[in-house]
Amino acid sequence: MPTARLLLLLTVVAAAAGSCFCSGQEAKPPTPPPYCGSVRTAVEAHNIIGWKTFPADCAKYVADYITGDRYGRDSDVVINEAVAYAESLKLSGSGKEVWVFDVDETALSTVPYQAKHGYGVQPYDHANFLQYVAGGSAPALQGTLRLYQRLLQLGIKPVFLTDRTEDQIAITTHNLLSQGYSSWEKLLLQPIGLQTSTQPFKTSERKKLVDAGYVIVGNIGDQWSDILGSPEGCRTFKYPNPMYYVA
Amino acid sequence: MPTARLLLLLTVVAAAAGSCFCSGQEAKPPTPPPYCGSVRTAVEAHNIIGWKTFPADCAKYVADYITGDRYGRDSDVVINEAVAYAESLKLSGSGKEVWVFDVDETALSTVPYQAKHGYGVQPYDHANFLQYVAGGSAPALQGTLRLYQRLLQLGIKPVFLTDRTEDQIAITTHNLLSQGYSSWEKLLLQPIGLQTSTQPFKTSERKKLVDAGYVIVGNIGDQWSDILGSPEGCRTFKYPNPMYYVA
């Protein structure tokens, strides 16, 4: 598997780079290697796929990225483009135009969970993640909320489409409402025990929307599996996320 | 058009920022605004589309990006991933597996042309670009050449697919050969006077390959129009390019 090989190589390099602390000195976190930003770009552009963790020697890089200014700036540029696109649309007046939103890392943030798990350099902890979701207090990603509010003003209806499972509908509804997502045309969750991965599930749900007469004018998600697969929507937006990969 | 609105906004901001030089002092180029890197990321991730020029106040940023270390590092991460993917494949032994390469900014560089045109912040100069191509001395992008050579060793055949037109076949052949691309299964150029844009042309050519029994195991290009549209190829790679956009 190519990503495994890359990560192995990066691990070896990192181990070599980290092996020269002098005894008696306080160990400072090593400066992240310069390729960390290139790995992030390659993740955003769908060049690196199927990865389990961000390279361990980029731990400081990815933490700085998420907690510093860059994550917000990258997100704002995407959201500004999405808002300008939505404002440019000529709507039919039928009320059938919808915009598909992913939930985790797009509408709502899991950064409070990620902060306890190395922002992507530690393996996914399913039990802990479920606990986080069950808490129902994931904060809104403010840029996405801004896009959502503008779409409502324009008359484009939001559809939430998530790989959260149907047993999480009550807490997800509560969490979205409490964070300012005040209404939606549909909230589509994954049936429990579904055997497919996210991309075919979401593609199939979008197809049902189109078959029911909806026009998907836009689609935004932090995973390529949110926005690949016909019908994708008239235009798609990849929200930044260097913390995890979902196929 | 959303991108036009973004660029207008950026132009206004840039004009305001650039208006306060004191007379008698030498004007230093202003520090690029922090969003330049976010715009580049958004271009790579196919969030900003249909743009004509990179924001003018990012002139120094994009020149530094291309002529500094980052462009090469970003490219190397993509190429490493492509090589590892190719090495992971189990070939059929039929000799029908091919890899599709775009030419300009993927196999061959137009950076010597771009250097005279602001690396993307100045509008495309068609006559001058044609002159550059006709010169036949575009240098190979070394990472792509490395991928190409590895594919030959593995038994995967290269196909070049370019929106250069058929009247440029002789100079393109010469340029590729002189830069180390020593053989190929096909070199497919655009018919003169074709009315479609690049994406449908390339998609149609890939479909012809598949119909002829080829298996497109990989596809690499610097434009999303190189790698979107079924059949894309089993896996696609977006080579970095913040300098221009082709639909």
Check if B39 contacts A (Cβ < 8 Å).
yes
A121 and A60 together in one domain = no
A112 and A214 together in one domain = yes
**Residue B30 — pLDDT band, cuts 50, 70, 90?**
confident
Residue A244 lies in a domain: no
Residue B194 lies in a domain: yes
Task: Name the 3-class secondary structure at A79.
Answer: helix
Helix orientation angle between B70-88 and A2-17, rounded to the nearest 10 degrees: 130
- Amino acid identity of residue A217, one-letter, is V
**Residue B25 — pLDDT band, cuts 50, 70, 90?**
low
Residue B38 lies in a domain: yes
CA B109 to chain centre: 8
The reported pLDDT for the residue numbered B19 is 35
**Residue range(s) defining the domain that contains residue B121:** 71-238
Averaged pLDDT for residues B129-155:
98
A151 and A36 together in one domain = no
User: What is the average pLDDT score of chain B?
Assistant: 91
**Residue B142 — pLDDT band, cuts 50, 70, 90?**
very high
A157 and A111 together in one domain = yes
The reported pLDDT for the residue numbered A228 is 96
The reported pLDDT for the residue numbered B3 is 47
- What does each C-alpha distance from B96 to B8, B145, B214 come to in angstroms? 49, 21, 5
A118 and A52 together in one domain = no
More confident of the two residues A19 and B160: B160
A83 and A145 together in one domain = yes
In A, which residues are within 8 Å of B69 by CB distance?
A: 34
**Residue B2 — pLDDT band, cuts 50, 70, 90?**
very low
Residue B112 lies in a domain: yes
Quickly count helices (H) and strands (E) in chain A: 10, 5
**Residue B27 — pLDDT band, cuts 50, 70, 90?**
low
B206 and B227 together in one domain = yes
CA A154 to chain centre: 24
Q: What is the pLDDT of residues B44-56, one digit of tens each?
A: 999 999 999 999 9
Domain count along chain A:
2
Residue partners of B209: CB distance under 8 A and separation at least 6: B98, B100, B159, B186, B216
Peptide bond into B29 cis (omega under 30): no
Residue A21 lies in a domain: no
CA B10/CA B15 separation, integer angstroms: 8
End-to-end CA distance of chain A: 15
Chain A: nearest CA to B158, how far in angstroms? 19
Biggest CA pair distance of chain A = 72
- What does each C-alpha distance from A20 to A28, A57, A204, B166 come to in angstroms? 11, 15, 52, 58
Chain A to chain B, count of Cβ pairs less than 8 Å apart? 104
Averaged pLDDT for residues B100-128:
96
Per-residue three-class SS string for chain B? CHHHHHHHHHHHHHHHHCCCCCCCCCCCCCCCCCHHHHHHHHHHCCCCCCCCCCCHHHHHHHHHHHHCCHHHHHHHHHHHHHHHHHHHCCCCCCCCEEEEECCECCCECCHHHHHHHHHHCCCCCHHHHHHHHHHCCCCECHHHHHHHHHHHHHCCEEEEEEEEEHHHHHHHHHHHHHCCCCCCCEEEEECCCCCCCHHHHHHHHHHHHHHCCCEEEEEEECCHHHHCCCCCCCCEEECCCCCCCCC
Using a 10 angstrom Cβ sphere, with 0-12 exposed, 13-18 middle and 19 or more buried, the burial of residue B194 is: middle
Residue A246 lies in a domain: no
Check if A68 contacts B (Cβ < 8 Å).
no
By the 8 A CB rule, do A99 and A86 touch?
yes
CA A175/CA A137 separation, integer angstroms: 6
Check if A164 contacts B (Cβ < 8 Å).
no
- Using 50 as the pLDDT threshold, list the residues of chain A that sit under it: 1-24
Tell me which chain A residue has its CA closest to the CA of residue B35: A73
In B, which residues are within 8 Å of A46 by CB distance?
A: 45, 236, 238
Averaged pLDDT for residues B116-126:
95
**Does the beta-carbon distance from A34 to B5 stay under 8 Å?**
no
From B45, B49, B76, residue closest to A44, measured CB to CB:
B45
B95 and B181 together in one domain = yes
CA B112/CA B128 separation, integer angstroms: 12
B126 and B39 together in one domain = no
Put simply, the chain A residues between 185 and 224 with a CB less than 8 A from any chain B CB are none
B57 and B147 together in one domain = no
Averaged pLDDT for residues B156-185:
98
Rg of chain A taking only CA atoms, in angstroms: 19
**Does the beta-carbon distance from B70 to A38 stay under 8 Å?**
yes
Residue A24 lies in a domain: no
A92 and A40 together in one domain = no
The reported pLDDT for the residue numbered A9 is 42
**Of A47, A54, A65, which to mutate for an interface test with B (greatest number of B Cβ within 10 Å)?**
A47
A145 and A48 together in one domain = no
The reported pLDDT for the residue numbered A7 is 44
Residue A245 lies in a domain: no
Check if A70 contacts B (Cβ < 8 Å).
yes
Structure tokens given for A195: 């055997």
Residue written as token pair 């324009």: A154
Q: Which of A245, A244, A238 is nearest to A79 (CA)?
A: A238
The reported pLDDT for the residue numbered A25 is 52
CATH value at residue B158? 3.40.50.1000
Chain A: nearest CA to B168, how far in angstroms? 30
CA A158/CA A108 separation, integer angstroms: 14
